[in-house]
Amino acid sequence: MIEARRLHILRAVADHGTVTAAAAALYLTPSAVSQQLTALEQETGHKLVERGARGVRLTAAGEILLTHTNAVLAQLERAEAELAAYRTGEAGTVTLASFATGIGLVVGPALGHLAISSPGIRVRVQDAEGDASLPMLLDRRIDVAVAVEYRGAPGADDDRITRVPLYAEPFDAVLPATHRLAGAEWIRLGDLSQDTWIGPYPGNPCHDVVVLACEHAGFSPQFEHSSDDFRAVVALASAGAGVALVPRSALRGVDLAEAAVRPVDAVAPERKVFAAVRHGAEAHPLIRPVLDALRRAAGG
């Protein structure tokens, strides 16, 4: 008989690539993870992982078991959802992670909706960058992630998660007020190819959006200054330190007295935001109202 907790460990190792990283995500010791993998191999009668200098990778048998693991864990989530639904008047806590702008734009309003529609549901909110919340979700550290599209993100066809689209917003060009193009009606990104750039750190999903947009315009932006705080990015642009692309919602309430904000010509780069839960959990009586409230707050 294969134990479900060992399947969780197998998936964590596959997701993180090393026993040490999987152990940290699961709050276990590396030796405990290794022991559980060994036990799982004994249960199945197959070698499931191969260890190398750069970490571990699944064998062909491990990949087969991982496919079934995703289906089994999703079914267990559904079972929990149905059992929870069987109890009427359920109240409890849902843990949600979102990036800062998402908290302001949809999570905060969603909490207001829930206070009226589902007063028994308590939502604990954690601030996490748009690329950090999905690993937290898969590691079962949170119940709901508000995340953004980025290179390497689990796709809409990933059988580990269920995604709910929330909104998409364009990036605007932010220039110093004294910039040569500050008076333009709109900005062609190619015209900024020789400028110094300000932007998020590599790894931040917005960094990927900016780099890809500039690459499509025929150049690679030269980042001189980096910050994941868009208020800091705007402050640097206002001081004449460079130019930037900033999601439109991140400019709300920011001092723009010394900056020029202009739309981008042609197809503007976008930040696509969605909510995600582990596949099978979308019908849970605590999670479903949270997803509905997020969708309503996003105007869906």
Write out the two tokens for 116.
């009226």
pLDDT at 1: 79
Question: CA 250, 246, 223, 196: dihedral to nearest 10 degrees?
Answer: -120
pTM of the predicted protein model: 0.72
Q: How many CA atoms lie within 13 A of 205 on its CB side?
A: 24
What is the structure's pLDDT at 86?
A: 57
Chain position carrying tokens 């929990």 = 80
Distance of alpha carbon 196 from alpha carbon 215, whole angstroms = 15
8-state DSSP, 264: B
Task: Look at residue 131 in the predicted model and tell me its pLDDT.
Answer: 79
pLDDT for 90? 64
124/75 Cα distance (integer angstroms): 25
Q: What is the residue-level pLDDT of the chain in tens, covering all 300 positions? A: 788 889 889 999 999 999 999 999 999 999 999 999 999 989 899 999 998 878 889 999 999 999 999 888 888 888 888 777 656 556 788 999 999 889 999 999 999 999 999 988 999 999 998 778 999 999 999 999 999 987 777 888 898 999 999 999 999 999 999 999 999 999 999 999 999 999 999 988 899 889 989 999 999 999 999 999 999 999 999 999 999 999 998 998 899 999 999 999 877 788 899 999 999 999 898 999 999 999 999 986
